[in-house]
Amino acid sequence: MALYSEKVMDHFRNPRNVGVIEDADGIGEVGNAKCGDIMKMYLKIEDDIIQDVKFETFGCGSAIASSSMATELIKGKPVSEAMQLTNKAVAEALDGLPAYKMHCSVLAEEAIRSALEDYYRRNGLSLCKETT
C-alpha cells in the first residue's frame, strides 16, 4: 500500500493557488515548531465570498498538499462556510493522510482561520456571529 494517496501526490506535485495576493483582505500565518512547517494564507473577499485564496508553504509534501486542498475547499465559498473548515475535511478530501502527518491538515485549518480572523479584525467585525 502506498504511503500517500494519489490526491496527496497530485496536490504536492501540482499545488493549486500558490502565491501571494498583494492586496489581500486577510492574511494568516501559522507554524509548527516541532516539524518546522510554516503556512501563510492570503484571502480576497468580496460580498462575504472568498473570491481568491493563495498560499505559501514551507514544509513537507503533506503540508503543501494540505495547503493546496484547503484553498480549493474554500475558494468561492461564503466566509461563514470557510470558517467551519476542519482539518478532518482537508484530510478526507485528500483521501487520507498518515497519522503522523495529520498535523499538516491541522496547520491548513489554522492558517485559514487565522486569515479569516485577520479579515474580521481589519473590518471591525465580530467572530461571534459565525459561531451560532
Residues with active-site annotation: 35, 104
**What are 63-109's pLDDT values in tens digits?**
999 999 999 999 999 999 999 999 999 999 999 999 999 999 999 99
Domains of the chain, start order: 6-131 (3.90.1010.10)
- The string of pLDDT tens digits covering residues 24-60 is 999 999 998 788 899 999 999 999 999 999 999 999 9
Alpha helices in 1-132 (DSSP H): 6-13, 61-74, 79-82, 87-93, 102-122
Nearest to 50 by CA among 41, 37, 61: 41
pTM of the full structure? 0.91
